[in-house]
Structure 1
């Protein structure tokens, strides 16, 4: 499939990490690489900062018994990571890039990642391939989140910018969604991305006396209601919604300039995401829940079963059972087949445009309700609020 898309130098992979414990102090982490074209896990690495045996023998150093134990334990030690939990992703991805030729006889030419870690810098510094420079692609979901984060920080730091008719939580959500859609709908052209990103902003400041829809897509199928009315010769009856406050417009312009740079948008070309990695993470922790204690051996087993399940469905469990010489009955077979069919049908339903729109509306309505409650009640929870 990579050859069909003219990727002759290597394949595109998305990488992401997940920790055994929520937060940045987890002792165990799992990092996955998933092929973009196939959607299959191509490699995983389980990282551990802890070994129970090492902790038990830690107080017996400088004894003959410890030296004898250490000589036999080194090959079986569960600890395979030094440093912080945040560094697990960097080290694991670098290791998987360096062993790609030995493992699969291919190279990873493009890496889809987010801006949450310095993983890509680690790849570049390690130089895994002598004759190939790995290229970075951004996860557009994480790029979209940058807009929401910048706008919320702006509202928090600039006094008087929030409140009714200004930069509300609902408006921030709308601008963030529109920014993401502008990238997704024009993922093959940087210029089209930039034009539509700015179109969404100028669309919000348009009025009946001063419409600013020149950048909006034209035609009756446009997302712009003004352009739809123009295509249907109904502009005489068209009325704009209340325009974006001019103070807010001037305040958020620098954010739009920053997030529509060529350098950033060029890494969004192709419309790549890490959704497959997030899905794999959910499969993994459904097998070994974070609420239940487990050591590295359990995480290793769960990760490998999750790869089989994610790549080939639940019927791959029957292959594992065969290796273990377990008898597979008709009830087991029927359960695996039916479970896979239900999963596929559910996934197809969630991918429909109707389902996506319903989720967006539900999320927007929920946040709007929360904002209304906060405006009525005031801030009731926060660090040092009672001082």
Structure 2
């Protein structure tokens, strides 16, 4: 979400929204508010990752809670556990949206980000702690060899991509063919190391799948 919001902010730049102000600034799409939205969205995924319908509602609650005003509240997706407006309705007290609401022109501008990330199709990918990024495993291999936070040449990045493709599709053992083509041989201990890496990767993946199955079975039992 952070990247999507930053992209929207960058695209709008100094352009004026319908209220005559830019998208950034105090109480608008500032860097702090971007981080807050990102953290809230991540927290929502962690809390609701076993229930797609609940995850959908709570994800959109982030947007509509901010969109609400005193004259036009939208709290259908909110939870009374944290929503001050719902608590005020329950207790029969007054409530002021000013403290947390964001200007609607700003929210209208960032709504496409929510529509993309908070659709049922997109959220279905994170149910049971999966990832919305289908290429995350591949990307992690690339960044492992060519870290984002360190400067590297285009050649280094291309090599990292090529090696990641080999590892992702064939496993570490296939890299031995690269060594053989480059050096004319592949050593015994090199092969043993690659086998160890492949076995470790399979073991980790097996543990993760078993963990997800146990959680899924537990959630089914708990729902009965």
What TM-score does the superposition give when structure 1 sets the normalisation length?
A: 0.31
Correspondence for 2:123: 265
Q: CA deviation at 1:254?
A: 1.2
Query: 1:294-332 CA distances to partner (integer Å, 9 max, x unpaired)?
Result: xx96xx49x87xx6xxx9xxxxxxxxxxxxxxxxxxxxx
Query: 1:144-200 CA distances to partner (integer Å, 9 max, x unpaired)?
Result: xxx110001111111232122321011111111222222222222322222111111
Q: Report 1:65-144 matches (<5 A).
A: none
Name the one with the larger strand percent. 1
Structure with larger Rg: 1
Correspondence for 2:96: 239
Q: 1:184 aligns with which of 46, 49, 53?
A: 46
Name the one with the larger helix percent. 2
**Alignment pair present for 1:223 and 2:82:** yes
Distance change in 2, residues 1:244/1:193 (3 Å): same
**Alignment pair present for 1:210 and 2:210:** no
Q: State how far apart, in whole Å, the 1-side matches of 2:119 and 2:89 are.
A: 31
Correspondence for 1:172: 34
Q: 1:157 aligns with which of 3, 11, 28?
A: 11
Q: State how far apart, in whole Å, the 2-side matches of 1:211 and 1:261 are.
A: 22
Q: State how far apart, in whole Å, the 2-side matches of 1:169 and 1:209 are.
A: 28
Structure 1 unaligned regions, length at least 5: 1-146, 282-295, 312-387
What TM-score does the superposition give when structure 2 sets the normalisation length?
A: 0.52
Instruction: State whether residues 207 and 242 of structure 1, in contact with CA within 8 Å, keep that contact through their aligned partners in structure 2.
Output: no
- State the aligned residue count: 141
> Which SS does the other structure have where 2:127 is aligned?
coil
Q: CA deviation at 1:228?
A: 3.0
Q: CA deviation at 1:251?
A: 0.5
Q: State how far apart, in whole Å, the 1-side matches of 2:35 and 2:43 are.
A: 12
Q: State how far apart, in whole Å, the 2-side matches of 1:234 and 1:181 are.
A: 29
Q: CA deviation at 1:234?
A: 5.1
Query: 1:32-80 CA distances to partner (integer Å, 9 max, x unpaired)?
Result: xxxxxxxxxxxxxxxxxxxxxxxxxxxxxxxxxxxxxxxxxxxxxxxxx
Q: Report 1:190-339 matches (<5 A).
A: 190-218=52-80, 222-231=81-90, 233=91, 235-236=93-94, 238-240=95-97, 241-272=99-130, 300=193
Q: CA deviation at 1:223?
A: 2.1
Distance change in 2, residues 1:213/1:235 (3 Å): farther
Q: CA deviation at 1:239?
A: 2.8
> What RMSD, in angstroms, separates the aligned Cα atoms of the two structures?
3.6
Structure 2 unaligned regions, length at least 5: 14-21, 132-136, 142-188, 205-224
Q: State how far apart, in whole Å, the 1-side matches of 2:78 and 2:103 are.
A: 20
